[in-house]
Amino acid sequence: MADIVYPHERTALLFVDPYNDFLSEGGKIYPRVKEVADENGLLDNLRRVSGAARAAGIQVVIVPHRRWEPGDYEDWGHPNPTQRAIMHRHSFARGEWGGDWHPDFAPQPGDIVVKEHWGQSGFANTDLDFRLKQKGITHVILVGLLANTCIESTGRFAMELGYHVTLVRDATAAFSHDMMHAAHELNGPTFAHAVLTAAEVIAALPGPSEPLAKTA
C-alpha cells in the first residue's frame, strides 16, 4: 500500500454505471444491492472517492451501461443472462428516471462520458481505451457497480491492456456477500494491482498542490 502512487495527470477514476436504477431508492435494481451497499457505506464512499479524485486533479470517467431501448436484444443470437434480465425489466431505460444519473454522481465539467457498453466490460465495443490513451492515462481506479460483473470485467480488460488497476472494495456492491467475496478475495487479486478501501485510496491520492512523484 505504501508503495502505490497515483500520478494525478496519469490516473483516472472509472465510475461505472452511476444510474438511479442501481443507486437510488425506487430504482429497479436497487433492492438487490441495498443490503451490501448499506453495509459498505457505498453512497458515502462514492461521494468521498469521487470528491477526492476531483480535488487531486484526477480525471473522472463515467463508464455507463447501455440504456435500454425498445428492440434491444430481442433478435440477438446469444444475449447473456444480464441482457435477458434487462430486456425483461427494462433496466436503465433511456429517457426514464431509472436510466438517468444518480443526482450526486452526474457528470461534472471536465468529466469524460464514454460510449455505453452492451455487456459487462467498459472497454469492449466502446471508446474507453482510446479516450484514456489520449489523456496519457496509465492508472485506473474502479468504483461503481456491480463488483462481480462490470467492475470485474472492466478491471480485467484494463489489466490486459496494460493499465495499473485498483479495485475499491467498499465503493462497490453486489447482489450477495458471496459475490463480493469472490470479486475481492478470490478474483480481484488475480488481475488487480491493488484491492483497497476507500480510505486507503484517498490517502494514496496526491493532494491538490502536491508535486508529481514517481509512479508505482
Question: Is residue 180 in a domain?
Answer: yes
Question: Is residue 210 in a domain?
Answer: no
Cell of 25: 431508492
Question: Is residue 197 in a domain?
Answer: yes
Q: What is the pLDDT of residues 53-90, one digit of tens each?
A: 999 999 999 999 999 999 999 899 999 999 999 999 99
Write the CATH number for 19: 3.40.50.850
The DSSP string of 36-52 is HHHHHTHHHHHHHHHHH
Question: Is residue 189 in a domain?
Answer: yes
Structural contact between residues 163 and 13, judged by C-beta atoms closer than 8 angstroms: no
Question: Is residue 213 in a domain?
Answer: no
User: What DSSP state is assigned to residue 101?
Assistant: B
Pairing of strands 194-196, 164-173: parallel
Question: Is residue 84 in a domain?
Answer: yes
Question: Is residue 120 in a domain?
Answer: yes
The values of phi and psi at residue 133, to 5°, are -65, -35
- The C-alpha cell 508505482 sits at 216
Question: Is residue 214 in a domain?
Answer: no
Radius of gyration, CA atoms only, the chain: 16
- The C-alpha cell 474502479 sits at 142
Cell of 141: 481506479
Residues of the domain holding 76 = 11-204
* pLDDT tens track, the chain, 216 positions: 557 899 999 999 999 999 999 999 999 999 999 999 999 999 999 999 999 999 999 999 999 999 999 999 989 999 999 999 999 999 999 999 999 999 999 999 999 999 999 999 999 999 999 999 999 999 999 999 999 999 999 999 999 999 999 999 999 999 999 999 999 999 999 999 999 999 999 999 998 744 444 444
Query: Cα dist. 127→9, 16, 83, 144, 155 in Å?
Result: 19, 14, 21, 19, 15
| Domain tally, the chain | 1
Can you give the pLDDT at residue 90? Answer: 95
